Amino acid sequence: MRRLFHLVLAAAIHVVLIAALLAPAVKSAEAQTRTTTVVQLGEALCHSLGCTACHAKELNVQAPDLHGLFNRNVTLSDGRTVRADEAYLRKSILEPREVVVAGFEPIMPSYRDVVTDEQVDDLLAYLKSLSPEPRQPNERPRRRRSGAD
Ligand code: HEC
């Protein structure tokens, strides 16, 4: 009887241990799915709001290419050089006249009254995904083969 009890106990401990080992993997898979969804929402918004009409990669005569923009330095028409961090991207969408990229006409409309805060977050997630290594604030930068950056 006692032996059986020990066996059952050992089995139960194994189940708990395996669950504990698997939980983080399941969690990160969930997080991944969520990120993909936000990025996809942002991409859809970019199409429906007309961003891609001006910012399409093939058309970058009119508007700057948004690929690889996140965390890059940008020179503005007033001579300032700023880092294209999240705050900059947000401002570019909500107050484009305040951060006009050098060499471009200030033709981008403000989306302040067009998008909700949540939609701005979706757009930001999408814009960040266009950079080869979108960095999370708490993620240590990884080495790139090219050594660029
Ligand atoms: C009418 C054309 C047009 C539309 C529509 C448009 N943009 Fe722009 N956008 C521009 C131009 C031109 C610039 C460069 C001048 C400036 O900074 O205002 C720019 C600049 C930007 C920048 C800064 C780029 C850089 O290199 O620093 C971002 C980010 C951006 N746009 C995102 C968006 C998003 C997101 C949307 C849709 C919600 C959008 N734009 C819609 C024309 C447009």
pLDDT at position 139, please? 58
Q: How far is the CA of 57 from the centre of ligand 1 (A)?
A: 12
4, 29, 40, 69 from 50: Cα distances, Å = 68, 32, 16, 19
Mean residue pLDDT of the chain comes to 83
State yes or no: pLDDT of 112 exceeds 70.
yes
Average pLDDT for residues 6-34, to the nearest whole number? Answer: 68
Q: Please tell me the residue having the least CA distance from ligand 1 atom 42.
A: 108
User: Could you state, in order of their start, the residue ranges of all structural domains in the chain?
Assistant: 35-129
Determine phi and psi for 76, rounding to 5 degrees.
-95, 165
State yes or no: pLDDT of 135 exceeds 60.
no
Helix, strand, or coil (residue 74): strand
Q: For the domain bounded by 35-129, which CATH number is listed?
A: 1.10.760.10
pLDDT at position 11, please? 73
Confidence class of residue 59 from pLDDT cuts 50, 70 and 90?
A: low
State yes or no: pLDDT of 1 exceeds 80.
no
Q: Please tell me the residue having the least CA distance from ligand 1 atom 23.
A: 92
At 73-86, the pLDDT tens digits run 999 999 999 999 99
